[in-house]
Homo-oligomer: A and B are copies of this chain.
């Protein structure tokens, strides 16, 4: 059987995601070399000492040897990073990112003349943790998780297959969606939960004994502690889809409030039955 070899993998951004990608690649032994760049010296040091990378560099252009470049920076920094990478990367370099918002990045690559344009494959691992940074990187962070890929018409099929394979090597399940469909999924499946966790947490803080909460409360507010700057950026970048998801939620919420207020037994039973059926649907 042919042994998979991703050559030299360059990781831009040595945080939770970038660090975990490196850890897993090195553990699996599927790359000849894993090299990394981060603007933070501390992140570089931690990533190196934790074994996320073979070597780190202080400037992005030192990743010029990369056969695959994984851009694992916050959503707003992806585009500047792609422009920088375009200056130095090899003629056959395949590039992917891990940003949680896709349409604005992918559509930008359609108009800007990137040398690796057809070899850019937008991606988003549906994984994460409450605490970020390379300290919290784990080789099994992506195990069993979906990793959405958003190729477009001009995307090179070979590049897509290579990234699909890379993602599978990281333990994730690749799912192909259009950039817009991805952003709608992300708004409902990830951005809305973060909004609701925050809203609930704020409502709870008005109580005398918020510590009286049971397990359902802790489940629903766990992600309320996420990084404010990062999440403000994510919401802004996925503005249209987030607003649309919040509107859908508002509509259902008002309906539910009416049913409670009007003491409609049957409507309430149906609400909880529909919830149960919905949940059972994706747990099949």
Q: Which of A113-121, A160-168, A193-201 lines the interface with chain B? A: A193-201
Q: Dominant SS at the A interface? A: helix
Contacts of A254 in B (CB 8 A): 250
The answer to whether A126 has its CB under 8 Å from any CB of chain B is: yes
Instruction: Assess whether A192 is interfacial by the CB under 8 Å rule.
Output: yes
Chain B positions within 8 Å of A42 at CB level: none
Q: Are B212 and A175 in contact (CB under 8 A)?
A: yes
B199 touches A272 (CB 8 A): no
A111 interface residue per 8 A CB criterion: no
Determine if B220 and A246 form an interchain contact, defined as CB atoms under 8 angstroms apart: no
Q: A175-B212, A198-B274, A212-B126 are in contact. Are A246 and B252 (CB under 8 A)?
A: no
Among candidates B195, B212, B250, B277, residue contacting A146 with C-beta atoms closer than 8 Å: B212
A236 to B272, CA, bound (A): 13
Please report the C-alpha to C-alpha distance between residue A252 and residue B204 in the assembled complex, in whole angstroms.
Answer: 13
**Cα–Cα, bound, A37→B229 (Å):** 55
Tell whether A57 is near chain B: CB-to-CB under 8 Å. no
Say yes or no: A224 contacts B269, CB within 8 Å.
Answer: no
Within 8 A of B (CB), among A236-255: 236, 239, 242-243, 245-250, 252-254
What is the CB-to-nearest-CB distance from A267 to chain B, in angstroms, rounded to a whole number?
Answer: 9
Closest B residue, CB atoms, query A196: B196
Q: Is A80 an interface residue (CB 8 A)?
A: no
Chain B residues contacting A282 (CB-CB under 8 Å) are 204-205, 210-211, 213
**Number of copies of this kind of chain in the complex:** 2
When distances are taken between beta carbons in the complex, the residues of chain B under 8 Å from A274 are 198, 202
Q: Size class of A's contact patch?
A: 35 or more
Tell me if A271 counts as interface (CB < 8 A to partner B).
Answer: yes
Binary contact track A46-88/B, C-beta < 8 Å → 1, others 0 = 0000000000000000000000000000000000000000000
The distance from the CB of A265 to the nearest CB of chain B, in whole angstroms, is: 6
Minimal beta-carbon separation of A205 from chain B (angstroms): 4
Q: In the complex the two chains form, is A202's CB within 8 Å of B278's CB? A: yes
How far is it, in angstroms, between the C-alpha of A278 and the C-alpha of B222 when the chains are bound? 12
- In the complex, are the beta carbons of B275 and A202 less than 8 A apart? yes
A146-B212, A214-B128 as given contacts; A199 in contact with B232, CB under 8 Å: no
A-B contact pairs, 11 of them (CB 8 A): A145-B214, A190-B216, A193-B219, A198-B278, A202-B252, A203-B248, A211-B282, A224-B278, A231-B272, A239-B260, A247-B257
With A203-B249, A232-B265 given, name 11 new contacts (CB 8 A).
Answer: A175-B209, A193-B219, A194-B216, A197-B216, A197-B220, A199-B249, A203-B248, A204-B278, A228-B276, A236-B263, A250-B250
User: Which A-B residue pairs are the 7 nearest by beta carbons?
Assistant: A198-B275, A228-B272, A205-B278, A146-B212, A232-B268, A210-B282, A126-B214
